[in-house]
Structure 1
C-alpha cells in the first residue's frame, strides 16, 4: 500500500478572479449616430438659411422695382399734367401721355403682384429656416443629455470598480 501525499492527485481549484467586464459601447454608438444627425441638421440649417437669404434678396429687389415703377409712373403723370396745364401740349399728346401712364400703372400692378409673391416665398423660406433651427436646437439638447448620461455611467462604473 502506497501512501499518498496530502495534496497529490487532487486538482487545485483556480482562485476566483473577477473577469474583466466588457464595457458597454451602446451609448458611444448612439452618441456617434446622434453626432452625425446633428451635423446633418446643421448642414440643412445652413442650406435653408442661404435659401431664405436668397428669397429675401429677391423680395427686396422686387419691392425696389415696384417702388421705382410707381414713382416713375407718378412722375410721368405729373409732368404730363404740368405740360398740358402750361399749354405746352395739345389734347392728343396729353391722351398719349395718359395712355402711357395707364400702361405704367398696369406694369406697376404687375410688379406689386411679383413683390407679394416673393414675400410669400420669403415667408415660407423663413418658416423652413426656423423649423430647421428648432430641430437643430432639440438635437443639441438631446446630445447634451446623452453626454451627461454617459458621464454619469462612467462615474458609476468607476465607483463600482473601486
Structure 2
C-alpha cells in the first residue's frame, strides 16, 4: 500500500495560543498617568498654600509694625505736649498724623484678614488634593492586587 493513497494523516491538534488580555495593563497605565498628574497637582497646591501662608505672615508683620509705630508716634506726641515742648498746633498736627496712621493700620489689618482667607482656601485645596491622591493610590493598589490574582489564576489554568 502506498502511504500516499487512501490513508490520510490526521492533523495534530495544537491548542491555539490565547491572546493575553491586556485591558488591565492598559487600565493600570492610564491610572498611573493619572496618579502622576494628581501628585503634580498636589505639589502645586502645597506650594501655593506655602506662598499664601508666607504672604499672610508678611501682612501680619506689616500690620503689627504699623500698629506699633502709630502707638509710638502718639506716645511721643503726648509726651512732648505734656512736657511743654510743643504747642497745641503741633499737637493737633501730630494728632492728625496719628489718625492717618490708624487708618493705614486698619487697612493693613484688612489686608491681613484677606490674606488669611486666601491662605485657608489654599490649605483646604491642598488637603482636598491630598485626600483625592490617597484615594487614587488605594484604587491603584487594588488594581495591582486584582492583576496579580488574575495572573495567578491564568497560570493555574495553563498548568
2:156 pairs with 1:159: yes
Residue 55 of structure 1 is matched in structure 2 by 52
Residue 28 of structure 1 is matched in structure 2 by 25
Return the offset for 1:10.
3.2
Residue 107 of structure 1 is matched in structure 2 by 104
CA distances 1:81-121 after superposition (whole Å, capped 9, x unpaired): 11111111111111111100000000000000111111111
Q: Distance in 2 between matches of 1:66 and 1:120?
A: 16
Residue 38 of structure 1 is matched in structure 2 by 35
2:73 pairs with 1:79: no
Q: Distance in 1 between matches of 2:98 and 2:105?
A: 10
2:66 pairs with 1:69: yes
CA distances 1:15-52 after superposition (whole Å, capped 9, x unpaired): 32222211110000000000000000011111111111
* Aligned alpha-carbon RMSD (Å): 1.5
Return the offset for 1:123.
0.9
Match of 2:119 among 115, 119, 122: 122
- TM-score for both structures, normalised by structure 2: 0.94
SS of residue paired to 2:85: coil
Return the offset for 1:13.
2.0
User: What are the ranges of 5 or more consecutive residues in structure 1 without an aligned counterpart?
Assistant: none
Return the offset for 1:6.
8.8
CA distances 1:59-89 after superposition (whole Å, capped 9, x unpaired): 1111100000000001111111111111111
Q: Distance in 2 between matches of 1:63 and 1:130?
A: 24
Return the offset for 1:5.
6.5
Residue 91 of structure 1 is matched in structure 2 by 88
Q: Distance in 2 between matches of 1:32 and 1:154?
A: 17
